[in-house]
Chains A and B, each alone.
Chain A
Amino acid sequence: SSELTQDPAVSVALGQTVRITCQGDSLRSYYASWYQQKPGQAPVLVIYGKNNRPSGIPDRFSGSSSGNTASLTITGAQAEDEADYYCNSRDSSGNLVVFGGGTKLTVL
């Protein structure tokens, strides 16, 4: 079982704002990273650290963290944002990597 918990599915109306969350005890000590995965493709890093976007990632993607919860926010969701989103971080020992179970985002 994953040490990071995500809601299995979330939906958002086109152009609206959506928050995808990731919960786990290790998030009190470590930042999460976020990945977008579209069908048949490898995951793509969209947010890392406190709130950093790799080159090429639209600024509608942002990250935040509070207590044991990390969040990925998409402000003004677009049709192309429909995908699975995964968080990852360290485990409670700090030595190993864990992934959340993933959230399927539907853009209505």
Chain B
Amino acid sequence: QLQLQESGPGLVKPSETLSLTCTVSGGSISSSSYYWGWIRQPPGKGLEWIGSIYYSGSTYYNPSLKSRVTISVDTSKNQFSLKLSSVTAADTAVYYCARRLGIRIDYWGQGTLVTVSS
């Protein structure tokens, strides 16, 4: 059974960079056809797609976040990562890592709350 687990700091200061890692177990991140991505959900609000990466390194980002987002993959560790720079309080959210096949997102991590505060 595929499992995804987010890890990283739960508190980030304004203007700094948010960094999260997703560890994939029970399957290979190098499997063809699958995209690996990040989705966030501010408290009490809806889901927002941040971006996705293919194991080859091809990336796709939400245009509203593109200037601040970097998603990378480490196939040797079966991990992929998110960096979001110049964060503000508006970036406070539960961040989910997930696997996407086509348009469907079939596996999600449990989510991790990241709070932006000084």
CB within 8 Å for A48 and B103 given contacts A43-B47, A97-B37: yes
A61 close to B (CB within 8 Å): no
Q: Which residues in A have some Cβ–Cβ distance to B below 8 Å?
A: 2, 30-33, 35, 37, 42-45, 48-49, 54, 86, 88-90, 95-102
**Which residue of chain A is the closest to B109 with respect to CB atoms?**
A42
Question: B103 contacts A90, CB within 8 Å?
Answer: yes
Interchain residue pairs A-B with the least CB separation, the first 3: A48-B104, A42-B108, A33-B104
Q: Are A97 and B52 neighbours in the complex by a CB distance under 8 Å? A: yes
Question: Which residues from chain B contact A102 at a C-beta distance below 8 Å?
Answer: 46-47
B78 to chain A, nearest CB (A): 20
- 19 A-B contacts, Cβ less than 8 Å apart? A2-B46, A30-B103, A33-B103, A42-B96, A42-B108, A43-B47, A44-B108, A45-B106, A48-B104, A88-B47, A88-B49, A88-B103, A88-B105, A89-B103, A97-B37, A97-B52, A97-B100, A97-B103, A99-B47
Partner of B47, one of A44, A45, A86, A95: A86
Beyond A42-B108, A43-B108, A97-B52, whether A86 also contacts B46 by CB under 8 A is yes
Contacts of B104 in A (CB 8 A): 33, 45, 48-49
Is B7's CB within 8 Å of the partner chain A?
no
Residues of B at under 8 Å CB distance from A? 37, 39, 46-49, 52, 60-63, 96, 100, 102-106, 108-111
Q: Are B49 and A97 in touch, CB under 8 angstroms?
A: yes
Report the nearest B residue to A97, measured CB to CB: B49
- Cα distance, A2 to B110, chains bound together (Å): 24
Closest approach, in angstroms, between the C-beta of B40 and any C-beta of chain A?
11
| Chain B residue at minimum C-beta to C-beta distance from A33 | B104
